[in-house]
Amino acid sequence: MEWGAVIVAAGRGTRMAAADNKPYLPLDGRPVLAHTLEAFERCSAVSSIVLVTAPGEEARARAVAFEASALKVSAIVPGGAERQDSVYAGLEALGTEGVLVHDAARPLITPAQIEACCREAERHGSAALAVPVKDTIKIEGEKGFMTETPDRSTLWSVQTPQAFVREELMRAHRLAKEAGAFATDDTMLLELLGRKVAIVQGDYRNLKITTPEDLPVAELFLARRHREESI
């Protein structure tokens, strides 16, 4: 199966409380987006990349792609009002049978993890990186009170990339839009079709830059990776 990637860099990241959008914040002296693009560029399983940006930031994203030598970037398209709109815009611009959907704000993804996601999706139809939940999770019933504790051994924290057959994911997006259903990630849309998504063991270091505390943590993880690669 030929694989392409939709990298979503269209979010404003209000929780980051930064003066700039998350994909362009500096990480080890380079934009977050540059690290993300580099990982997909280095993954031999990926043949093309569509980059979805906030409207008006296409030229800026193109400059980062050039800086990162991301030659696989085949299109840069503006996103929509919601994440689902942005992903669908990327899907329309991609021509491969398989698609990986990835958040630009996860810059520590590795080529090996991307490829593992592709291979599991080829076996099972769809797959996503995830890590076991570490904390005990509580369900709030009456507001302000814990009422239930789900079995932690069955809980996973899903990450990206997530891998799908492109036409099937597009169908799931269209049906969700018709039904007025909103999802925080694309695996939820496949679940609405009754599909199962295979779990691919991820890495806790594949964090999403969401709040100000995440950037220094990502810096530490990246520095450790550089040390390990130099040994």
List the chain domain ranges.
3-230
**Which run of H or E residues covers position 64?**
helix 58-67
| Residue 17 banded pLDDT, cuts 50, 70, 90 | low
| Residue 14 banded pLDDT, cuts 50, 70, 90 | low
Tokens of 154: 């069955």
Tokens of 220: 């530490």
How far, CA to CA in Å, does 123 sit from each of 28, 62, 144? 37, 34, 43
Which whole number is the average pLDDT over 91-108?
A: 98
The dihedral of CA 98, 5, 159, 12: what is its sign?
Answer: negative
Output the pLDDT for position 126. Answer: 98
Contact 119, 96 (CB under 8 A): no
Output the pLDDT for position 142. Answer: 81
**Which run of H or E residues covers position 114?**
helix 111-124
| pLDDT tens profile 101-140 | 999 999 999 999 999 999 999 999 999 999 999 999 999 9
**Roughly how many angstroms between the first and final C-alpha of the chain, as a whole number?**
35
pLDDT at residue 202 tops 70: yes
- Calpha distance 49→40 (Å, rounded): 8
Output the pLDDT for position 157. Answer: 97
| Residue 16 banded pLDDT, cuts 50, 70, 90 | low
| Residue 21 banded pLDDT, cuts 50, 70, 90 | confident
| pLDDT tens profile 58-69 | 999 999 999 999
Q: What is the DSSP pairing of strand 3-9 with strand 98-103? A: parallel
CATH H superfamily, domain 3-230: Spore Coat Polysaccharide Biosynthesis Protein SpsA; Chain A (3.90.550.10)
Q: Mean pLDDT over all residues of the chain?
A: 94
How far, CA to CA in Å, does 194 sit from each of 106, 172, 173, 186? 28, 10, 14, 13
What one-character-per-residue DSSP string does 23-63 give?
A: GGSEETTEEHHHHHHHHHHH-TTEEEEEEEE-TT-HHHHHH
> Model-level pTM?
0.95
